[in-house]
Amino acid sequence: MSAKKRILLCVTGGIAVFKAAALTSKLSQSGYEVKVVMTESAAEFVTPLTFQALSRNPVYINTFNEKDPSKIAHIDIADWADVVVIAPATANVLGKVANGIADDMVTTTLLATTAPIMIAPAMNVHMYAHPAVQKNMETLKTFGYTFIEPGEGFLACGYEGKGRMEEPEVIQKEVDAFFARKDYPEWHGRKVLITAGPTQETIDPVRFLSNRSSGKMGYAVAEEAAKRGAQVTLVSGPVSLPVPPGVTFVPVTSAEEMFQEVTARFADTELVVKSAAVADYRPQEVFDEKVKKSSEPMSIEMERTKDVLKELGKRKENQVLIGFAAESENVEAYAEKKLHSKNLDLVVANSIVDPGSGFQGDTNVVTFIKKGHSPEKLPMLSKSDVAKRLLSEAAILLEQRGIQ
Ligand code: CTP
C-alpha cells in the first residue's frame, strides 16, 4: 500500500474487546494505519497499552487529556480517519450515537467525524433483540452507518444466540471491501459472470471424468471483482473453496449444466471471465448401474461437449469476453488462435509446465493476449494479484466498448 489508509477503531466495553485487539493487529499487519479510541469501560477488559503496542499509535480515552496544545484531540482524530469502525459496539454506544449524545472520547469523536462509520455490535442475545436496540440500529442506518452483523453462537454471558461480535477476519474483509469500492468506482454495479473449477462428466453412479482444476484462479477473480463493487455471479464446478463474500453462487457439475447456466445469464452480463476447465468430451453413454469389472480391457466412447465460450463469442453483442488457455507447448500461438476462433477480447494464457504456474498452486505465470497488441507476459504472481491485473485489463476493455 503506498499512502497508508487510516482506520479509526472505536472500542467500547464488552468482553469482545479482546477480539478488537486481534483486529488491531490484523489491520496494522495488512498495512493500514490504525488509531484506537476506547471507552473507560473498554479499558477495564484490555489495557490501552495493548492497543498502543499493536497499533503503534497513542490510544485516546479521556476527552480532556489533551496531549498536544495545538490540536483538539477528538476533532483531530475525527478528521484524520478515512473510515471509522466501532468494534465491539455495545448497546450503550448505539443508544448514545443514535440520540446524538456525546459524553466521552468515543462518542464525541463519532459525532465529530464525517468519515463513513462501520459498526460491529456485540452484546447479550436479549439485549440485541430489545426493541430499543433494534430501533437505535435502524436510526443509525438512516444516518448511513453500515453494520457488520453479529454472529450466532455461545456468548460469554452463558447464552447461545445472536450477539457475538463478528470475527476480526470478517471485519477486516469488510474494511478491505470498503476501500476497494472507494478506489474502483468504475466497477460499481458492473454485471460480471465468472466460471471456475473443473466439470465432472458422469460415467456411472460412482465414477466420473474430470481434471485437476482447483478453481483458485476463478475464485480469486470473483473475490476481487466483488470487493471492487461489481455484481458477481460465480458459476462453479465442484471445488473445495469457500464462496467469496458478496458473490451469487451457482454450483454446477457437468459441462452441459455449465453451458445452460452461463448462456441463460449472458444477455444480462457485461463481462465474462471464463476460467473454468470445462471438459471437452463426455462419455457418450451414462450407465445407470455401477459398471462391473471383467478380465477384458474396456473402452468408453466419448462425445464432444458444447464449447460454452465459443457459443458466447457467437452471441456476443457489447459484452467483454475473457477466456483462459492452459497449454503445455506453443503457449502464445495456441492462445492467439483461441482469441480469434472464439471471438474473445482477451486470452489469459499460461503454460501448465512452467514452475509457479498451473492448476493447483497459489501462484500463476500468465501472458495476456489481446487483439492488435503484442503479448504481455507477467512475472510469477499470486493468483490474487493475477486477478487484480486481469480486472485492470477488463476495466480498459469495458471502457473502450463504452459500457458505462
Ligand atoms: N471452454 C468452454 N467450454 C468448453 C471448453 C472450454 O467454455 N467446452 C473455455 C474455457 O473455460 C477456457 C477456454 O475455453 O476459457 C479454453 O479453451 P479450450 O479451447 O477449450 O482449451 P483446451 O481444451 O485446452 O483446448 P485445446 O484442446 O483446443 O487445446
Encoded amino acid at 262, one letter: V
| Residue-wise pLDDT tens digits, 299-314 | 999 999 999 999 999 9
Q: Return the C-alpha cell found at 403.
A: 459500457
338 CB within 6 A, ligand 1: yes
Phi and psi dihedrals of 288, rounded to 5? Answer: -75, -30
CA-wise closest residue to 1 among 35, 29, 22: 29
| Residue-wise pLDDT tens digits, 92-117 | 999 999 999 999 999 999 999 999 99
What's the CA angle centered on 50, arms 44 and 56, to 5 degrees?
Answer: 140
Q: How confident is the model at residue 351 (pLDDT cuts 50, 70, 90)?
A: confident
Q: How confident is the model at residue 356 (pLDDT cuts 50, 70, 90)?
A: confident
Fold assignment, 6-178:
Rossmann fold (3.40.50)
Q: Domain 184-282+302-401: state its class.
A: alpha beta
pLDDT at 280: 97
| Known catalytic residue at 157 | yes
What is the number of the ligand 1 atom nearest to the C-alpha of 338?
19
pTM of the model: 0.79
255 CB within 6 A, ligand 1: yes
Helix %, strand %, coil % of the chain (to 5): 35, 25, 40
Classified as helix, coil or strand, 81 is coil
pLDDT at 199: 98
Residue of 65 and 16 predicted with greater confidence:
16
192 CB within 6 A, ligand 1: no
Cis-peptide, bond into residue 88, ω within 30° of zero: yes
Contact 266, 247 (CB under 8 A): no
What is the number of the ligand 1 atom nearest to the C-alpha of 327?
24
Rg, Å, the chain Cα set: 26
pLDDT at 160: 87
CA of 292 to the centre of ligand 1 (A): 32
Domain parsing of the chain, residue ranges:
6-178, 184-282+302-401
Q: How confident is the model at residue 1 (pLDDT cuts 50, 70, 90)?
A: very low
Residue 164 exposed, middle or buried by CB count within 10 Å (0-12, 13-18, 19+) = buried
